Amino acid sequence: MSRLVFLSALPLNSIDLRSFCIHVKRMNEDLARYIVKEAVSNRAEILSFIRHRAVVDLINQLFNLNLKVNSGIYQWRRGDEIIVVSLKKQIQEQEATEILPNDLEFHYVYICEV
């Protein structure tokens, strides 16, 4: 793994789907914690492309990270491991100042060459 990337959604246009396929698997917080721990121990770059401060703050708290809010555009790179973090129910961004762990869903995204 060269990078572990946290996203709030998977932008399909960031991946050349003519050459690669995507597998998405729902995972629990414990598995996400394990993946983060592996990334840290392998000194992988850990990035976030999440612009919602409350979500990034909770990710930092749950996984002992220091990610920053980032509204940049994600572009997939070979070797990326992706965790998509989403809210279980939609809420207005201005209403979502305090998010609890139970409010989040985690999905692991694996991209393979076809």
Domains in the chain: how many in total?
1
Is residue 34 scored above 90 in pLDDT?
A: yes
User: 5: Cβ–Cβ under 8 A, 6 or more apart, which residues?
Assistant: 46, 47, 48, 49, 74, 80, 81, 82, 83
CA-to-CA distance for 83 and 8, rounded, in angstroms? 9
Domain carrying residue 62: 3-113
Whole-number mean pLDDT of the chain? 88
Query: Pick the residue with more confidence: 18 or 94?
Result: 18
Q: Is the pLDDT of residue 39 over 80?
A: yes
Q: At what angle do helices 29-41 and 53-63 cross, to 10 degrees?
A: 70
pLDDT single digits (tens) 47-96:
999 998 999 999 999 999 999 999 999 888 888 999 999 888 776 555 56
CATH of the domain at 48: 3.40.50.11170
